[in-house]
Structure 1
Amino acid sequence: MSRDRGVLLIATGAAHVAAARAVAESVHRTNPGLSVGLFSDSDAPGGAFDWTGPISAPHVRSKVDYLGESPFDETLYLDTDTRVFADLSDLFRLLERFDLAAAHRDRAVVRRKMPRWRKDVPASFPEHNGGVLLYRGTPAVRAFLAEWRAAYAEAGLTADQRTFRELLWDSDLRIAVLPQRYNRRRFTWLDWLAEGRQMPAILHTNRLHPGKQGGWIRQRANRLIGPGV
C-alpha cells in the first residue's frame, strides 16, 4: 500500500462497515492506483481495504477521533454515504498549495445567524461539511485535528460542524473550498440529463446512507460502476 495518498473511511457498526466497503469499491473502480484505509470496530471488515485499523470506544462521531491518525501523507476522508465516480488526481493537486479542503455546508450558509459554541464568528464565515475532507498529514494539520477531537468531546454536541467552524476561524491553516462537483449533496435524473449525463466526481447524499432507500441514485450508480455501490 502506498502511504503517499489515499482515501480514509471511518465506520462503526455492521451497516456502516458494509457501506464503507461500497465506497471503497467505487474508489477502486474509478481510481485503481489509490489506496483505501478503514478505521472500524469490525474484526472482519472485508477485503476492499488496503489498510485497516481498530476503533476503540466508538460513538456517533468516531471520525473526529481518528482523522488525525490517517496512515496517509495526503488524505481524502469520505463519509460512508458517498460514492466516487471520477478520477480524483486533480482534487489531490489542491494539497500542492493548501493544507485542508472542504465544501461549504450549503444549507448553513443561508442562515442569518448560525448557532455558536464558544465564540462569535461572522456569519460570512460558513460551516463546512465534514463528510468530504481533503488534508495534508503535516504536524500543523494533525495538531488541528487533535484540537478538534478535544473540542468536540468538550462541547457535547452531536453534530461536528459547529466546533469545526470555530476552530477553522482561529486557525492559520490554508483552507480551500471544494466545488460542488466534489461534494454533490443532491442529484436527480433531471440533473443527470442537464449535465450531459455525467455523474459528480463525489456524490454525498442521504439516499446512500446505510439503512435508507437508495431510489434513483442507487439504481443509476449500480448501472454505472457495478452492484457494489
Structure 2
Amino acid sequence: MESKKGQGVVLVATGPVYVEAAIRSARSVKEHCGPDLPVHIWTDLPEVCAAAAGAFDSVERIENPHRRSKVDHLWRTPFERTLFLDADTRVVADVRGLFSLLDRFDLCMAHAHRRSHAKSATTSSSSSSSSPASASPPPVEFPQLNSGVFLYRRSEGVVAFLKRWQEVFHAAALPKDQVTLRELLWTTDLRVYVLPPEYNVRYQKYIDAWDAGEAQPKILHMRKFVDEIKQQTAADPASSTSSS
C-alpha cells in the first residue's frame, strides 16, 4: 500500500446545502478535537470548501456526484486511520480517542436505529442487482449499522471491502447505502466493532433520557442540521454557501 498520513477526518458533500452542512461539521471537529486533526473533503464545490475558514485542510473535486457519493470515495482516504462523518453531524466532544480502537479493529460503526421500516428490510438480492452483496440476507438479529459515522483502518482488506461496497451499491441501485453495507458486513472476516450510541446520536430523545451518570453525547447526527440550512436558504433565497 502507498504511504498515507496518520489519522484524520473525511467528509463527502455535494450541493450547496450539504456543503454548508459539511463546513459546519468540519468546524465542530476543529473546535473540539483541535486544529491539528486534519479534515479532508470530497465535494462538487471545491472552491467553496477551500475558501471556508477553519474547516478543511485538503479538498478534492467529485467529478460525477450523486446522493451517495461517499461509497465512491471512502476507499480513497488520504489517512491510515479515518473517521468519516456525514455532513449532518456535529462533534460535541473530543473524539480523538476513537482512533485507538483501530489498534484492534478494522471497521467501527454504531447500530442504525430503524428496524421495521421498509427501507431497512430491503436486500440487494430482492433488487434488480445481478451482483447481490450476499447470497442470502442476514438475520434480523444482525441489523444495519449506520454509515454516517464510520471509523476504519486503511489496509488492503478494508480497501477491498470498501471497493466491493461501491460495486454492489451501484449494481443494486437501491436508495440506501446501508442495505448493501449490512450484507457485506455479515459475510466479512474483517474485525468489526459496534460503537457506543453516544458516538452517533440520531435523535434528541436519547440525550433527554440520559442522566449525568450515563452516556454523554460525543457526535450528533441529526437531520435538523440540514433542515436548518434549508430553512435559512428559503428565508433568504439570495444567500449562498458560507465561506467565512
1:21-40 CA deviation, whole Å, 9 max, x = no partner? 10111000101131100000
Q: Distance in 1 between matches of 2:116 and 2:204?
A: 19
1:12 has 2:19 as partner? no
Q: 1:105 aligns with which of 103, 112, 116?
A: 112
Pairwise mapping of residues 85-100 of structure 1 onto structure 2 (< 5 A)?
Answer: 85-100=92-107
Which residue number in structure 2 is paired with residue 82 of structure 1? 89
Q: Distance in 2 between matches of 1:185 and 1:195?
A: 19
Which residue identity is paired with 2:57? D
Q: Distance in 2 between matches of 1:28 and 1:66?
A: 22
1:25 has 2:27 as partner? yes
Q: 1:18 to 1:114 in 2, by over 3 A?
A: same
Which residue identity is paired with 2:194? V
Pairwise mapping of residues 1-229 of structure 1 onto structure 2 (< 5 A)?
Answer: 3-32=5-34, 33-44=36-47, 45=49, 46-47=52-53, 48-108=55-115, 114-118=121-125, 119-187=136-204, 191=208, 194-195=211-212, 200-210=217-227, 211-212=229-230
- What is the Cα deviation at residue 114 of structure 1? 2.7
Which residue identity is paired with 2:43? S
- What is the Cα deviation at residue 199 of structure 1? 5.7
Misfit runs of 4+, over 6 Å: none
- What is the Cα deviation at residue 194 of structure 1? 3.5
Q: Is the 8 A contact 2:90 2:221 kept in 1?
A: yes
Q: Is the 8 A contact 1:103 1:178 kept in 2?
A: yes
- What is the Cα deviation at residue 152 of structure 1? 0.5
Which residue number in structure 2 is paired with residue 222 of structure 1? none
Aligned CA RMSD, in angstroms, stands at 2.6
Q: Is the 8 A contact 1:185 1:204 kept in 2?
A: yes
User: Is there any run of 5+ residues in structure 2 with no aligned partner, and where?
Assistant: 126-135, 233-242
**What SS does the corresponding residue of 1:130 show, helix, strand or coil?**
coil
Q: Is the 8 A contact 2:145 2:178 kept in 1?
A: yes
1:8-66 CA deviation, whole Å, 9 max, x = no partner? 00000111111111011100010113110000011311242011111011011001100
| Residue range with higher mean Cα deviation, 154-163 or 100-109 | 100-109
Q: 1:121 to 1:3 in 2, by over 3 A?
A: same
Which residue identity is paired with 1:96? D
**What SS does the corresponding residue of 1:107 show, helix, strand or coil?**
coil
Q: Distance in 1 between matches of 2:138 and 2:210?
A: 39
| TM-score relative to the length of structure 1 | 0.85
Q: Distance in 1 between matches of 2:205 and 2:179?
A: 29
User: Is there any run of 5+ residues in structure 1 with no aligned partner, and where?
Assistant: 215-227
**What SS does the corresponding residue of 2:65 show, helix, strand or coil?**
coil
| TM-score relative to the length of structure 2 | 0.80
1:71-119 CA deviation, whole Å, 9 max, x = no partner? 11100000011000111122111101000000111112799x9332222
**What SS does the corresponding residue of 1:75 show, helix, strand or coil?**
strand
